[in-house]
């Protein structure tokens, strides 16, 4: 089997490209898929199956423990979908964003599962990052922003030709807005913090201190409680009340509002992209970061406009005079990171910020975060399942699951 990889940029309309592969003969020069039974391994497929569960009470995909897709973690859903597809014995599988938002254990399980198919099933992988190319690909097709094929190479040639494409160097950031209160150091102090959902323990006796200017990576396998821990820090999770937590110089539950906490935190998670469906300009999107609002509801100050445009200068001309919804997927992610940073928060939380970024946008992100970490008194908590070349946190706080809930260790 001569398996095929399709290397994309974030400018490609991936949904249209997948439709073209499945129905319009996009790969005819490589292989004729006419009449072959195919399957799509994608979050799109997962979303469709979950909708089928909720609307018609039909459970086509379940875990080994017989739980439904809608109740699984993202990694469990990917494992279950692969098992389901393999059981259907398709003649080809289109693999979309194979390694997004999964831990290393799940990645190895997926690779093992695919390894069982390489002799019998044609694999067509769509990927944004060179490091995600499957090792058993034969041919890699490079596609530009208009879904035109610009190169066709064997895997070894493709990997070699892209070795020198990454340029990790400091970028010049604008002068940051405001100064931080030195009395707030440490910014976060957790002492024996625990959390559970019903009878299921999630976190156990977490002790963690985050000080001004520190660059942390929060790590741990899927389901280890990373999202729960972040939501308690941000103030969105009521399980934080009554616990020994100091947030920005105040004990949790001492009369602070959730907005007192949020104004000191710049926050990004991939799910935020879905919240912004309005036709806002990129300038308005960045300015909204000063107030943590979805859109602008009051006239911005001159200083806010000045700061927003200074950040847009850092991003380059492709962001100027654009509507947010007109940006590519990767550009939207980068802009939301800038939105989180524009108010110069003492704490910047980045939850899986590189998921779905192509190599070019990922390099821009790494350059920005390295510069913020090295030049400014901003603490960073960076959450990711994958190592990012060139991104070097000072410390790692790892959540290690136990039967009593995940415990924290500093590496």
- Helix/strand/coil (H, E, C) string of the chain? CCEEEEECCCCCCHHHHHHHHHHCCCCCCCCCCCCCCEEEECHHHHHHHHHHHHHHCCCCCECCCCCEHHHCCHHHHHHHHHHHHHHCCCCEEEEECCCCCCCHHHHHHHHHHHHCCCCCCEEEEEECCHHHCCCCEEEEEEECCCCCEEEEEEHHHHHHHCCCCCCCCCCCCCCCCCCCCHHHCCCEEEEEEEEEECCEEEEEEEEEEECCCCEEEEECCCCCCHHHHHHHHHCCCHHHCCCCEEECCEECCCCCCHHHHHCCEEEECHHHHHHCCCCCEHHHHHHHHHCCCCCCCCCCCHHHHHHHHHHHHHHCHHHCCCEHHHCCHHHHHHHHHHHHHCCCCCEEEEECCCCCCCHHHHHHHHHHHHHHHHHCCCEEEEECCCCCCCCCCCEEEEEECCCCCEEEEEC
Residue 172: which of 364, 368, 307 has the closest Cα? 368
pLDDT at 134 over 60: yes
Confidence of residue 388 (pLDDT cuts 50, 70, 90): confident
Strands 245-247 and 3-7: unpaired
Q: What is the mean predicted confidence (pLDDT) over 383-398? A: 88
Please give the average per-residue pLDDT across 1-23, as a whole number.
92
pTM of structure: 0.86
Mean pLDDT of the chain: 87
Give the pLDDT of residue 299.
87
- pLDDT tens across 271-311, in order? 777 777 667 889 988 998 888 877 777 888 898 899 898 88
How far apart are alpha carbons 181 and 384 in whole angstroms? 29
List the Cα angle 386/111/98 in 5-degree steps. 55
In the predicted model, is pLDDT for residue 11 greater than 60? Answer: yes
- Give the burial string for 316-338 (b: 16+ CB within 10 Å, else e): eeebeebebeebbbbbbbbbbbb
List Cβ neighbours of 336 (8 Å cut-off, separation of 6 or more).
268, 272, 273, 276, 285
Instruction: Tell which residue, 232, 162, 161, has the closest CA to residue 197.
Output: 232
pLDDT attached to residue 179: 55
Peptide bond into 28 cis (omega under 30): no
Average pLDDT over residues 153-175: 74
pLDDT level of residue 85 (50, 70, 90 thresholds): very high
Whether 262 has a pLDDT exceeding 80, the answer reads yes
Looking from the CA of 1 toward its CB, the CA atoms found within 13 Å total: 19
Q: Between 66 and 190, whose confidence is greater?
A: 190
Any idea how long the chain is?
A: 411
pLDDT band at 232 (very low <50, low <70, confident <90, very high): very high
What are the phi and psi torsion angles at 280 (to 5°)?
-90, 150
Which residue did the predictor score with more confidence, 69 or 139?
139
% of the chain with per-residue pLDDT over 90: 39
**pLDDT at 188 > cutoff 70:** yes
pLDDT in tens, 308-342: 988 888 888 888 888 888 888 778 888 988 899 88
Domain annotation for the chain: domains and CATH numbers: 3-161 (3.40.50.300), 182-410 (3.40.50.300)
Across 229-258, average pLDDT: 86
pLDDT at residue 359 tops 70: yes
Whole-number percent of the chain with pLDDT over 70: 94
Indicate the pLDDT class of residue 24, thresholds 50, 70 and 90.
confident
C-alpha 184/C-alpha 180 separation (Å) is 8
Higher-pLDDT residue of 130, 54:
130
Task: Give the pLDDT of residue 191.
Answer: 97
Task: Tokens for 102, please give them.
Answer: 């999964």
Q: Looking at residue 178, what is its pLDDT? A: 53
Res. 3 pLDDT band, cuts 50 70 90: very high
As a whole number, mean pLDDT of residues 349-377 equals 86
> Mean per-residue pLDDT for 391-411?
94
Nearest alpha-carbon partner for 99 in 66, 137, 125, 68? 125
For Cα atoms 142, 272, 296, give the angle at the middle one, nearest 5 degrees.
115
**Nearest 10 degrees: Cα torsion 353, 354, 358, 361:** 60
pLDDT of residue 361: 86
Residue range 97-102: mean pLDDT, rounded: 84
């Amino acid at each position: 089997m001569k398996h095929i990889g399709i290397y994309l940029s974030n400018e490609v309309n991936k949904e249209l490209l997948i439709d073209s592969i499945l129905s319009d003969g996009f790969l005819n020069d490589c292989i004729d898929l006419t009449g072959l039974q195919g399957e799509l391994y994608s979050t799109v497929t997962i979303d469709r199956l979950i909708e089928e569960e909720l609307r018609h009470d039909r459970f086509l995909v379940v875990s080994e423990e017989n739980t439904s897709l809608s109740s699984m973690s993202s990694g469990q859903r990917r494992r279950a979908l692969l098992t389901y597809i393999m059981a259907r014995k398709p003649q080809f599988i289109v693999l979309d964003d194979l390694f997004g938002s999964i831990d290393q254990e799940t990645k190895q399980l997926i690779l093992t599962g695919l390894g069982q198919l390489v002799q019998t099933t044609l694999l067509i992988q769509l990927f944004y990052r060179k490091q995600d190319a499957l090792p058993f690909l034969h041919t890699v097709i490079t596609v530009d922003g208009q879904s035109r094929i610009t190169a066709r190479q064997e895997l070894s040639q493709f990997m070699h030709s892209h070795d020198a494409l990454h340029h990790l160097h400091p970028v010049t950031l604008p002068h940051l807005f405001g100064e931080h209160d030195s009395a707030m150091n440490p910014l976060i102090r957790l002492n024996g913090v625990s959390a559970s959902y019903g009878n299921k323990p999630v976190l156990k006796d977490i002790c963690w201190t985050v000080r001004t200017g520190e660059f942390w990576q929060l790590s741990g396998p899927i389901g280890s409680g990373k999202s729960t821990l972040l939501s308690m820090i941000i103030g969105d999770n009521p399980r934080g009340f009554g616990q020994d937590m100091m947030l920005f110089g105040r004990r949790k539950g001492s009369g602070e509002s959730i907005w007192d906490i949020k104004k000191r935190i710049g926050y990004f998670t991939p799910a935020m992209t879905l919240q912004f469906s309005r036709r806002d300009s990129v300038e308005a999107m960045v300015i909204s970061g000063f107030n943590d609002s979805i859109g602008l509801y009051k006239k911005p100050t001159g200083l806010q406009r000045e700061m927003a445009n200074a950040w847009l200068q850092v991003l380059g001309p492709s962001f100027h005079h654009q509507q947010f919804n007109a940006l590519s997927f990767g550009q939207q992610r980068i802009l939301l990171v800038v939105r989180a940073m524009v108010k110069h928060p003492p704490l910047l939380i980045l939850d899986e910020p590189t998921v779905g970024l192509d190599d070019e946008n990922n390099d821009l992100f790494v350059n920005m975060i390295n510069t913020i970490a090295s030049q400014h008194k901003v603490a960073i908590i960076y959450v990711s399942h994958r190592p990012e070349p060139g991104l070097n946190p000072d410390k790692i706080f790892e959540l290690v699951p136990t039967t009593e809930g995940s415990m924290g260790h500093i590496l």
